Amino acid sequence: MRWLRMHRAAIAKAVSLATATPVLSALVVIALATALALPLLAAAVAEGLLAAIARIDAKPTVSVFLAPAAGTREREAAERALRGLPGVSAVRFIPRDAALAQLAEVEGMGDLVAGLDRNPLPDTLVATLADADPGTASTVTGRARSIPAVAGVQSDVAWVARLDAVARAIRWTGVLLGVLMAAAVVAATFAAARLQALTHREAIVVATLLGATRAWVSRPYLYHGLLQGLAAGLGAAAIVAGALAGLGATLAPAFPAISEGAPGVGWRWIASGILSGGALGLMGAWLATRDLSSRPAAA
């Protein structure tokens, strides 16, 4: 029970340290919350983007456009060659007239198609790939170009790969921001704890001369750093929640797939923000109080 009373007294002292300078404490918490929110927000955006990519049609295709002079025999030969390529699971033929009819059904394209003197679209073979691996798509695209009677090749995997690269870049940016902001949080809590210790220097000197241990002297400042970090983590979770809500509302009309993939701020994000904030705040306070008993005693 003595141990419990000691920690209860230390927590009460930590609370009094925060309430003694409420404006400064609030500003420190706001700064720490902002620093913690940046990497959390980057991670949340990257996760939502990767989830949206995963929901995109799982059957990527390579469109092979036949030359205008290609006849039935050339088209059938090209179709057999495509079916024989590794990574191709299916091939279907879209006649140029059917392609034009599909284009006319697109909103705003009907009048344009009706005004055409002739059908400019080629006959097309659409090869469905077994997976969305960019390497497979690149191989199929390259070999399809060498097939006789093929005028052009277009893959829909490239833009998915670019989107995936953007998401991973955002994730790595989040990791880098996390490292930098963690250092900033530790530095800020270190400075706050050191400032509090210097403010109460005389009391620390007296307590040390009376035989107080370093653990007893530093315990209130450790709790102060922990409480600051926990409050900052909760604030960071609130910032991320607001940012994601605004981002989702903005993207929903134009990019429903991405907006649906954007994660909400559930318990995982809240816990990550609070725990990381508390741990970093405690670390900064610990670094500031390592020599708390020896420095004042030497004064």
For residues 129 and 218, membership in a common domain is answered with no
pLDDT for position 205: 53
pLDDT tens, N- to C-terminus, the chain (299 residues): 666 766 677 677 677 767 777 887 888 889 888 888 888 887 777 777 767 666 665 567 888 999 888 888 888 899 999 888 888 888 999 998 888 888 777 766 777 777 777 888 888 999 988 876 777 888 888 888 988 888 898 887 767 677 677 777 877 887 887 788 788 888 887 877 777 766 666 665 555 555 555 656 667 878 888 888 889 888 888 888 888 777 767 666 655 555 554 555 567 777 877 888 888 888 888 887 776 544 444 33
Helix (H, G, I), strand (E, B) or coil at 92: strand
If one counts the domains in the chain, the total is: 2
Q: For residues 43, 46, 47 and 48, what is the CA-based torsion angle, rounded to 10 degrees?
A: 120
For residues 175 and 264, membership in a common domain is answered with yes
Global pTM reads 0.58
For residues 17 and 126, membership in a common domain is answered with no
CB 261 within 8 A of CB 48: yes
Phi, psi of 212, deg, nearest 5: -65, 140
For residues 73 and 178, membership in a common domain is answered with no
Helix (H) or strand (E) holding 164: helix 157-199
Helix (H, G, I), strand (E, B) or coil at 144: helix
Cβ burial of 285 (10 Å; 0-12, 13-18, 19+) is buried
For residues 84 and 213, membership in a common domain is answered with no
CB 96 within 8 A of CB 185: no
pLDDT for position 10: 67
pLDDT for position 265: 54
pLDDT for position 296: 41
Distance, CA of 2 to CA of 222 (rounded, Å): 19
pLDDT for position 199: 66
Residue ranges making up the domain that contains 147: 61-155
Domain boundary among 127, 155, 183: 155
For residues 105 and 142, membership in a common domain is answered with yes
Distance, CA of 227 to CA of 221 (rounded, Å): 10
Domain boundary among 129, 155, 181: 155
* Residue 133: DSSP 8-state: -
Q: From 168, 161, 165, 167, select the one nearest 134 (Cα to Cα).
A: 161
For residues 229 and 279, membership in a common domain is answered with yes
- The CA-to-CA distance between both ends of the chain, in Å, stands at 34
User: What totals of helices (H) and strands (E) does the chain contain, helices first?
Assistant: 12, 4
CB 299 within 8 A of CB 291: no
